[in-house]
Amino acid sequence: MVRPRAKTAARGARAGATAGATPRSLVLSEKAARIQALLDELYPETPIPLEHADPFTLLVAVVLSAQTTDKKVNQVTPALFAAAPTPEAMAKLSAAEIAAFIREVGLAPQKAKALRGLAEKLVNEHGSKVPSSFDELVALPGVGRKTANVVLSQAFGQPAFPVDTHIHRLAARWGLSRGRTPDHTEEDLRRIFPESAWNRLHLQFIYFGREHCPALRHDLAECRICSWAATKKRIADESKKKSKPRAKAAASR
């Protein structure tokens, strides 16, 4: 009779030890709350990383940021916005002229065409104003779900949880989502985090990923979130990936 009681007590102790709990003993909502508390502590302020002056310049900057760093976007947009600060001015430029301003950005020719088409549609169909509805935004050239959500969140203050490949990666690492695409991950994150926190969490995820949780050569066991939020299998798998380049380098010497 003693042994069963000991096992029951041990199970109860493990379930109640939230602070040092393993991923399996953490209910998803508890894990999300703990992550949110840590991110709020680390990033009480969440400045928008893309430099802009209004909804239009933010929209343009977000379109340019696809497959390009925010740093690079911020380097090319001052000259572009000096020449075309409004939809009317942007629509008057040719795609080639726009491309000349953004040539250092990835996929510049395609983005230049999208920006010109976007500007024309804003002038012709929206009175030169950026619409504040999701459906109207995604109908603009070059604007997908993530871009629309960023504009809704950061330009209009509407609750949205934009998910790019970086947030998609972190959510998988931390066991918050098993979604195979950013859209599926967005659905999961919107479900487990309070709506009032979506806008700042989007940016907090980005800042934490850049500063503490990079995609490559990251030690999950030492990470302030991965160390307890990731599964043991995930930690082991990424540790193996991390060690492979070192092994190859040693073998080539």
Q: Looking at the annotation, which residues are catalytic?
A: 146, 164
* CB distance 139 to 148 below 8 Å: no
Question: CA torsion sign, 45 to 46 to 52 to 55?
Answer: negative
CA–CA distance, 4 with 160 (Å, rounded to integer): 49
* CB distance 83 to 102 below 8 Å: no
CB atoms within 10 A of CB 237: 13
DSSP one-letter code for 23: G
Question: CA torsion sign, 116 to 122 to 125 to 130?
Answer: positive
Q: What's the burial of 67, exposed, middle or buried (CB within 10 Å: 0-12/13-18/19+)?
A: exposed
